[in-house]
Structure 1
Amino acid sequence: MISTQPQPLDEALAALQGTASQFAAACIRDERVRAQYLRDIQAMSGDFQRRVRSGKLSVAEAAEQAHAMRQQILELTRMRTSPTVRAYVMNLKRASPSLASLAEKNAQALFKRSVSALSETEQSAVWLRIVQSAGTDRTSASTLARKLGTVGRRLLLVSIAVGVYEVYKAENKPREIARQGTIGVAGAWSGWAVGTGTVASGMCAATAPVCVGAVALIGGILFAFGSDIVFGTVYQTTVRR
């Protein structure tokens, strides 16, 4: 009887494919999520600027609402981001600045004076700048997302290449196609699940990207191994029936 359990080379390839699938899925998704975040805040900022120009909102009201809405969009975006990148971004920006601190920062940048010392016209300029800046994002985070997207697409090609090679050399090609699908899915989603569980359980801080990333990587490899072993057992049982 030919064993359907994975051999050492198959185990190594399964780990490689599972890891590549995990990072490819996370990186490509993170790039898309960040791009959508930028589109959302730009649209939001533009909408508030139009409402100010039309007289529907005062510039101070627009600044307050734009600041609050940007925070809501940011939190929703973080929920859709992979655990590793979420930890990295939260480490960059542990707490969002308050509206008052933004007003002081922009007052100093524009007029070198405190907000309370500005005229009404000057304060309006400060509020408008806050509305406009609500439509811009942190350059370092967006650059990272674009780079990760490129890496993700390359890793996806690696995962596909491994899968094609395994199917090509397999005697039972239908079985191998099913096996590759199992490993790919397990690798793609297990790292995300393990990383999220790590933060939720307190094993890693939400702002510790190295810890979260390492655990997610190990989790992805273990799930790839596990799925390969389980697939071999289940497939063998199914064939016997």
Structure 2
Amino acid sequence: MSLNMGQPSGSSEAEELLSLKRALAELQATASNFAAMCIKDARVRTQYAQDIQSVSREFTEAVTTGRMSARSAAEQVNALRNQIMDLSRLRSSPVGRAYATSLKQQGRTLAELTEKYAVRLFQKPFSALTEAQQASVYAEMVAAGGRADPAVMALSRTLGKVGRRIFLVSLAVAAYEIYEAEDKPREVARQGVLAGAGVAGGVAGGAAAVGMGVCAATAPVCVGVAALIGGVLFAFGADLTFGTLYPQAGR
């Protein structure tokens, strides 16, 4: 009769179960974090497009009806668009903010835009244009102030769809864990903690990476990796804390 010198099967099964739970917790945190970032950034970008379009329409009407000069309207539209851009970035996720900053670090000045549209419309510097041509440049600037970058908007819509799909993955993981749990009310609470910690950790991780100089403010990939790591670490810590405060009942 041989003796089993290995670990007891019960201990091995407990370790495997713990490893599985940790893996699922990390998946839950990553899915929740990524989904939240994608969905949030898509909504922020959509709102940004709607806001600048509204501003452009309002000032175009003011110029058309003679209530405001084209130059004055162009100045105000440019200032408002830059303000809306800055506010939108504050509402974005760290990754979304880094991506937007990599495309354009700050809003363009009125002088930069007058030169851009003067060359585009008349192939001349703005100072060489007639008064009527300059007015046309200002009018084009007012109209262009309401146009969002089509490529960025397309990417935003795609990320929004991806985010919603990944959110469904997160829900599926949570549903599986709840179904398998003996104490279902406790597991519902635990899944809520994991999801919340994953999102909070993502925001904190991305912001900390930029603030501490680990990632440049214009490096969305680096910030994204930091956000995902932060989400996993926060979720892991939250899971340990939750298990300490609300231990599972003995069999």
Q: Is 1:41 equivalent to 2:15 in the alignment?
A: no
Contact 2:200 2:234 in 1 (8 A): no
* Letter paired with 1:121: A
Higher relative contact order (CA 8 A, sep 6+): 1
Residue 32 of structure 1 aligns with which residue?
A: 43
- Structure 1: how far apart are the matches of 2:97 and 2:151? 14
Residue 165 of structure 1 aligns with which residue?
A: 176
- Structure 2: how far apart are the matches of 1:215 and 1:158? 21
What CA RMSD, in Å, does the superposition of the two structures yield over aligned residues? 1.6
Residue 123 of structure 1 aligns with which residue?
A: 134
Q: Is 1:114 equivalent to 2:135 in the alignment?
A: no
Matches within 5 A, 1:221-236: 221-236=232-247
- Structure 1: how far apart are the matches of 2:36 and 2:107? 28
Matches within 5 A, 1:78-227: 78-227=89-238
- Structure 1: how far apart are the matches of 2:234 and 2:241? 10
Contact 1:52 1:59 in 2 (8 A): yes
- Structure 2: how far apart are the matches of 1:175 and 1:113? 70
Q: What is the percent sequence identity of the aligned residues?
A: 51
Contact 1:167 1:177 in 2 (8 A): yes
Residue 26 of structure 2 aligns with which residue?
A: 15
Residue 75 of structure 1 aligns with which residue?
A: 86
- Structure 2: how far apart are the matches of 1:67 and 1:74? 11
TM-score by length of 1: 0.93
After the TM superposition, which segments of 4 or more aligned residues of structure 1 sit over 4 Å from their partners?
Answer: none
- Structure 1: how far apart are the matches of 2:110 and 2:239? 52
The alignment covers a number of residue pairs equal to 235
* Letter paired with 2:133: E
TM-score by length of 2: 0.89
Contact 1:89 1:141 in 2 (8 A): no
* Letter paired with 1:127: Y
* Letter paired with 2:161: T
- Structure 2: how far apart are the matches of 1:112 and 1:178? 64
- Structure 2: how far apart are the matches of 1:151 and 1:204? 25
* Letter paired with 2:214: M
Larger radius of gyration: 2
Q: In terms of mean alpha carbon deviation, does 216-225 or 95-104 score higher?
A: 95-104
Q: 3-state DSSP class of the match of 1:213?
A: helix
Q: 1:24 Cα deviation (Å)?
A: 0.8
Q: 1:108 Cα deviation (Å)?
A: 1.3
- Unaligned regions of 5+ residues in structure 2, if any? 1-13
CA shift digits 1:103-148 (9 cap, x unpaired): 1111111111221221111111100000000001122221221111
- Structure 2: how far apart are the matches of 1:69 and 1:147? 27
